[in-house]
Amino acid sequence: MAINVPIFRYLNKEQGKEMAKAFKIIKCKKGEIILTNAKPVPGIFIVIEGAVDVYTEKFETFLTRLEYGNTIGEMSLIENRTASASVRVAENGTVLLLCKSADFRKIGKERREIPKASKTSIAHLETILPMIETMKDHSPEDKEMLTQMSTSINNAIKTEIMNFERINKRVSKMQNYLDGNSKTI
């Protein structure tokens, strides 16, 4: 079963396998509290079956329902802060994957690879663009399709650069924490 988790998207296959080993399966019952607002986050959860509801206790306001593939708690864990909302199991039979905070912090090597992988991804996309421009000159009948491809690749590069910059800042914070240069992530 493949689950697309944005914060892990730049890990290679081997790094992904190592990260997967840190996750444990948690079977939940409806109404069970996973996270409590303003309390420490025990780790990163991934919904693999069923659903959870995110809400605020202070105003007892429903915020959203998270289902298959959604992650819970990752930003609080990465930024070393308490939960910004509460999360309750919405359905019986809900199954989550959990990577405990301590396990997540031990996986430093994978985090160091994220910026390198993103740079490589951007470099590959940038390599393709001149090829497409050359193809436009040699295949006028395909010019419209190649122009669309070029536009899509340019948009992908812009997105990757924005993601890279955002992720690189977080990775740097995590690396400083792991190296003992900072007390917060």
pLDDT tens, position by position, for the chain (185 residues)? 455 565 566 566 676 676 677 788 999 999 999 999 899 999 889 898 999 999 987 667 888 999 988 888 877 777 778 888 899 999 999 999 898 887 776 665 444 555 555 566 666 666 766 777 777 777 777 778 777 777 777 777 777 777 666 666 666 666 666 566 766 65
- Helix (H) / strand (E) element for 57: namely none
What's residue 92's pLDDT? Answer: 94
Q: How far apart are CA 110 and CA 164, in angstroms?
A: 15
What's residue 164's pLDDT? Answer: 65
Q: Quick check: pTM over 0.85?
A: no
Domain locations along the chain? 23-105, 107-178
Helices (H), the chain: 13-21, 74-78, 101-106, 108-138, 143-178
What's residue 172's pLDDT? Answer: 66
Q: How far apart are CA 70 and CA 80, in angstroms?
A: 20
Look up residue 31 and give its two tokens. 């109404």
What's residue 77's pLDDT? Answer: 74
Which numeric CATH code is attached to 23-105? 2.60.120.10
